[in-house]
A and B are shown apart, each in its own frame.
Chain A
């Protein structure tokens, strides 16, 4: 009902414009030479059929990727599929809409009553999540064009310290929080604005983004997939779901012989090595730390929420209406150094300053609530991370870290058991080859 109402409002607004325009186009000259007035052309937007082809390609590539990761176990084929996705979703589709950015459209649909989200965008958001919930991050492995571009430029991956890995790994949560806040308030689509790869797909950058893109690519040659690991907000959702997934890529096709060969093959440091039999630390101390953290969590969450709520006015400055209201206020009080195009446009449009201030106050209230939630969310993520680190689970085998494994398949070839399997598949004795 709401949707229909919005569409009706839109059409009504259009019809009002038309009556106005009909008035304007009078009078038309009387041509005597038989001249026929041409009509302006209106080249069509991308045909709707392409949307369905995109969805079909998305589902096909996800299925194929999952099969390659879980059944076929072939890094070469995964890489080939990844290149295809890079071409199709990246260079052919030119980046939009991608599941990473679609988070914001979904958020906008939930919070902005005037925004009706296209079905395609919902599908692009949901389908990779479902696949991840069942098969792990096979989307990252060979479907995401952003991941594919980074995967293709990995030249000499370096290990980074574990603590740094953990700390940087928290950035995506921050990014996700901010992206949701800004999308929900209608201020901006941050993820799209700071997408370092879409410029490559379109061969068009602005100056700032060009430098950022180049830095990410250069870093990506030595620290594998930096955006995926330390920025991607969609990766946060995929992490959570991958930890719960029904199936997941395994390093060895059957049993782990604990040879350690796989551990160095992963450029993302997403392979967990076996632990000692007994917890190496002081159990009582760890437990005390855990209780302390649990007790502190509500307090820290509150402090953080409060701190962020104090920043809400600052954060709201990114919103168009707040910027405009601020400018108008400065101009009206004689403090403005210059008049902007936006204030000129506003004054030309005939809305009253009072209405504008009311709208801006409304936006700032939304930011106030949003900042409370954002602060609480960020503190909660940090505390959960600290709490999680107190837990210890015994591991006997080499296993992929489900949260951080991209299912890229690089480790398959490192496993002696895998070679055994392949030889058996081909009916060749393993020993002959040596």
Chain B
């Protein structure tokens, strides 16, 4: 359209100023709406151990290598068994620390004698790859004191977590960064949270 060029410039400027203001208001509105649904704390990914089915995807699907998911041991729930469903390969005869007796593919569980007849099992997180094999064994036969958790010294908190995307049990949840773990049997030394206190903001 050719006639546009001869029109007074101030009309165009007026329209532009109007649109500029509209855009500013739109941004403000969007920000307001988003902020009205905001949480003060940042959100991080975590595994709900009660939903986890130990499918192994945590070991292979994390963007990090090895995965940011590790096995955590809640000692207070452990039976300190001689024959540990998490430690020993199913059907093993020898309750010892030989490699062929262990089911952890990386040998990341340390078995130490405490006193007759109790043994302590400790996860070496440097070796743990988060496959969840021990979690399955412990959950099947034992008390479920082993479970998988996203370790926040490693997790880079992807906006779309690659493991969450592929988790078949929908066990990945976003939790506040100041309470970033969903341990079984409660967090170390902490009282169970009272639903009516805290987070009053």
Contact = CB atoms under 8 A, between A and B. Distances in A.
A contacts B directly (C-beta below 8 A): yes
Interface of A: 2-4, 7-8, 11-12, 14-15, 17-22, 24-25, 28-29, 31-33, 35, 37-40, 42-46, 48, 51, 94-98, 101-102, 104-106, 109-110, 115-120, 122, 125-126, 129-130, 133, 188-189, 192-193, 198-199, 202, 204-206, 240-241, 244-246, 278-279, 283, 286-287, 290, 320, 340-342, 344-345, 348-349, 390-394
Contacts, number: 235
B168 interface: yes
Nearest to B73: A40
A44 B179 CA distance: 8
Contact of B74 (A2, A19, A25): A25
Contacts of A20: 50
B15 to A, nearest CB: 10
A139 B188 CA distance: 44
B177 A46 contact: yes
A431 to B, nearest CB: 37
A254 B122 CA distance: 71
B114 interface: yes
Contacts of B31: 122, 125-126
B114 A118 contact: no
Which bracket fits the contact residues of B? 35 or more
A51 B177 CA distance: 11
B37 A39 contact: no
Given A344-B53, A390-B1, A391-B1, A42 B169 contact: no
Given A7-B199, A33-B115, A133-B20, A96 B42 contact: no
Given A46-B152, A122-B34, A244-B16, A40 B160 contact: no
Contacts of A94: 156
B99 interface: no
B75 A15 contact: no
A175 B4 CA distance: 33
B143 A40 contact: no
B30 A126 contact: yes
Interface of B: 1-2, 4-5, 16, 19-20, 23-24, 27, 30-31, 33-44, 50-51, 53, 55, 61, 63-65, 72-77, 79-80, 114-115, 118, 120, 122, 143-145, 151-153, 155-160, 162, 165, 168-170, 174, 177-178, 180-189, 192-196, 198-200
Contact of A48 (B41, B76, B181, B200): B41
B159 A109 contact: no
A25 B38 contact: no
Given A25-B184, A204-B64, 9 more contacts: A11-B195, A25-B143, A32-B115, A37-B76, A46-B157, A244-B20, A283-B1, A320-B170, A342-B168
B100 to A, nearest CB: 28
A109 B158 contact: no
A223 to B, nearest CB: 27
B160 A45 contact: no
A204 B65 contact: yes
Nearest to B192: A18
B42 A11 contact: no
A199 B62 CA distance: 12
A165 B38 CA distance: 39
B179 to A, nearest CB: 8
